[in-house]
Amino acid sequence: MTRQSPLLVLRADAGSTMGAGHVMRCLALAQAWRDHGGEAVFVGTLNAGALQARIEGEGAAVFTLPARHPDRDDLATLLPWLHARRDRAGWLVVDGYHFDPAYHQALRGTGWPLLIIDDSGHLPAYHADVVVNPNAYAGEISYLADAETLLLRGTRFALLRREFRRAIETSASPARSSEPQPGGRILVTMGGADPDNVSAKVIDTLAALARPGLEIKIIAGALNPHRHALAEQLRQLGLQAELVPPVADMTPLMAWADLAISAAGSTCWELAALGVAMVVTVVADNQERVASSLAGHGAAINLGWFHGWQPKETAKIVNHLLDNSTERQAMGQRGHRLVDGQGCERLLRAMRGCHFSLRPATADDCEIVFRWANDPTTRAISFSPAAIPWEEHRRWFFARLADPGHLFAMAITPDGEPMAQARFALDGSGAAVISVSLAPEFRGVGLGSRLIRRACEEASTGLRVREIRARIKPGNSASLHAFGQAGFQHRGVVEVLGQPAVAMEYCPQGIHP
């Protein structure tokens, strides 16, 4: 019997008031999931034939709900649908501000691992296996989540669709060019819906520029009801601008632009990734932090709420940026440093390793531990940075397996893939020294502290140690952070092989040295 591909279910809605941003960033994750051989299904109310066609064009399926939460028909339809596919369970993703803790708990009751994509930390509690906030300000938010919830924060996890990832790899954006260019190309994008018709106010701003030779493209999204009114406004003002219909691939338009005027939604992270200078405005509550964080990083000019600025004053800001190519390029470079396009891959790795288990190391693990030990990053943070010869490693490895005072564990993913190792060496005084390392592909996705904490809990039970010690090079900030997150405390500086080392200690719950 052929094993079916793991299923990614993405629960998100779109509409004239909420726009399409939640669905579109879920589409980025669905693309990456499918690139790794999985299948994806979008579940929700989309209210746009073009949006559904886009999803299906990417090879994902759509299951339409009769109503959206808090309507009872949402869960009444979704829960049986999920139960019927429990044998296909890969992950369930939820993205939307209208989903509450009760909804999340109901979904987890089906047995599906749950990932919540969030922007604000507005809920009183988060019940999920993983919560990801892919915004630059995410570190400022304190989440009330379950103890085992993996929290992933920051633009390292920004979810960009395939076309943006390819554009970054090929350096497609002229905004990142080192050669100054005259600024004459303006892109306007106010999101998929623009219910308040902020595009009309931007058009008034462009008319006030009084700047000949401008090239202007205004995107009217799939859910925008104002397209005809915008066309009439352009005609009456005599403004030469192209009203662009919804497009599947925004990268050519963004790469074309010298400057973007945008709503401060998820599109801003796409513009930042391509190095496009931005003037942003807030059109919804959830965009305030995006706009201020972009401005704080020097990647955009923040106009604030759309009703608080005047077209003539904003025209002065736009004119200044068009006249200063060096300033635009600096803004674009700062934005590009925020978003590298690898967010989907990082998130998938975190999901893959989230529910790891520990097993005793065996002889079969010798070679993979050897590869991890000789990885350049591992050697750089080691107290003995020279490469390890194979025979030396082999003698060391089998000596550790045979040592009754040594606990040697391997962390494996649910499908059996080795992802990390953790070792504990008893020192004869009731204490153990811990050493951990992760496979290169599982680093930097929040799994280090989980591995350390889980391994320490098992060692505390299995070895009955009174305390667990770690010795870390002072410059190894990632390890210092991971051990700190796992419950270790600083105990000063000691010497290891003639080098300074940060001493850290972990005391198992209920046991005191």
DSSP annotation of 242 reads: E
Domains annotated on the chain, with CATH: 7-160 (3.40.50.2000), 174-338 (3.40.50.2000), 356-506 (3.40.630.30)
Which tokens go with 112? 């599906």
DSSP string, 366-427: HHHHHHHHTSHHHHHTSSS-SPPPHHHHHHHHHHHHH-TTEEEEEEE-TTS-EEEEEEEEE-
Query: Rounded distance, CA 464 to CA 430, Å?
Result: 8
Give pLDDT tens digits for 419-442.
999 999 987 777 899 999 999 999
Query: Rounded distance, CA 499 to CA 495, Å?
Result: 5
Nearest 5°: the CA angle 274, 279, 282 is: 110
Q: For the chain, how big is the Rg over CA atoms in Å?
A: 26
Query: Rounded distance, CA 475 to CA 494, Å?
Result: 14
Give pLDDT tens digits for 322-355.
999 999 999 999 999 999 999 999 999 999 999 9
pLDDT score at 33: 97
Query: Rounded distance, CA 206 to CA 198, Å?
Result: 13
Instruction: Assess contact for 217 and 241: CB atoms under 8 A.
Output: yes
* Bridge partners for 503 per DSSP: 471
pLDDT score at 181: 56
- Spell out, as residue ranges, where the chain has pLDDT lower than 50: 1-2, 172-176, 178, 510-513
Q: Exposed, middle or buried: residue 89 (CB in 10 Å: 0-12, 13-18, 19+)?
A: middle
Residue with tokens 């462009």: 206
Query: Rounded distance, CA 317 to CA 155, Å?
Result: 27
CA nearest neighbour of 13 among 52, 40, 39: 52
Q: Exposed, middle or buried: residue 345 (CB in 10 Å: 0-12, 13-18, 19+)?
A: middle
Answer yes or no: pTM beyond 0.75: yes
Element (H, E) at 322: helix 311-323
Query: Rounded distance, CA 249 to CA 251, Å?
Result: 6
pLDDT score at 172: 47
Q: Strands of 278-282's sheet, edge to edge? A: 242-244, 215-219, 185-189, 259-263, 278-282, 300-305
Give pLDDT tens digits for 348-377.
999 999 999 999 999 999 999 999 999 999
- 269 Cβ neighbours under 8 A, 6+ residues apart: 134, 135, 155, 158, 160, 338, 339
Query: Rounded distance, CA 410 to CA 358, Å?
Result: 6
Residue 118 φ then ψ, to 5°: -135, 160
Torsion sign (Cα): 391, 395, 400, 401: positive
pLDDT score at 180: 53
Instruction: Assess contact for 53 and 22: CB atoms under 8 A.
Output: no
Residue with tokens 């070679």: 367
CA nearest neighbour of 192 among 270, 125, 110, 298: 270
Q: How far is CA 424 from the centre of its chain?
A: 33
Query: Rounded distance, CA 112 to CA 219, Å?
Result: 38
pLDDT score at 460: 81
Give pLDDT tens digits for 86-122.
888 799 999 999 999 999 999 999 999 999 999 999 9
Helix axes 477-485, 448-462, angle to 10 degrees: 50
Pairing type for strands 418-426 and 431-438 reads: antiparallel
Query: Rounded distance, CA 486 to CA 32, Å?
Result: 30
